[in-house]
Amino acid sequence: NSACFPNYSYAGCIPRPHLGMTFTSIKLLDPIGIERMRRKHNIESGLIVEEVSKESNAEKLGIRKGDIIERFNGEYISSTIELEKMLLDIGNDHFEQAKRLCRNRCSNSNISCHETLPKI
């Protein structure tokens, strides 16, 4: 993944979202399954939830086995890779905000922030 090295060199780790779910892409179904999804639900791409982990955020949100995830934040998705990339992008945005907040607080209170892992 092209995002792995920059994440590691920047954050000192490779983030991986824990979704609490496993999926099957509609596009990976057999042709009859794809046609059935199109006719029954008017959906040609998306993710079918195969399993939801106990007490995961997904379960708390009410996601159940058999649910179909067609969009995330208004964008259509057709693979777990696309979903993970969207989640990593959100995580990176929050990480950036946290680093800026830390820098501002550290400079305002004479506390120095240190990297925990050396940059590559």
- Could you read off the pLDDT of 75-108 as tens digits, one per residue? 899 998 888 888 877 776 666 665 565 555 544 4
Question: Helix or strand or coil: residue 102?
Answer: helix
Domain definitions of the chain by residue range:
17-109
> What is the C-alpha separation between 109 and 103, in angstroms, rounded?
10
Fold of 17-109: Pdz3 Domain (2.30.42)
pLDDT digits (tens, 9 = 90+) for 9-46: 555 665 566 678 899 999 999 999 999 989 988 988 89
Residue (of 73, 59, 48) closest to 20 by Cα position = 59
Lookup: tokens for 67: 């649910």
Burial of 60 from C-beta contacts in 10 A (0-12 / 13-18 / 19+):
exposed
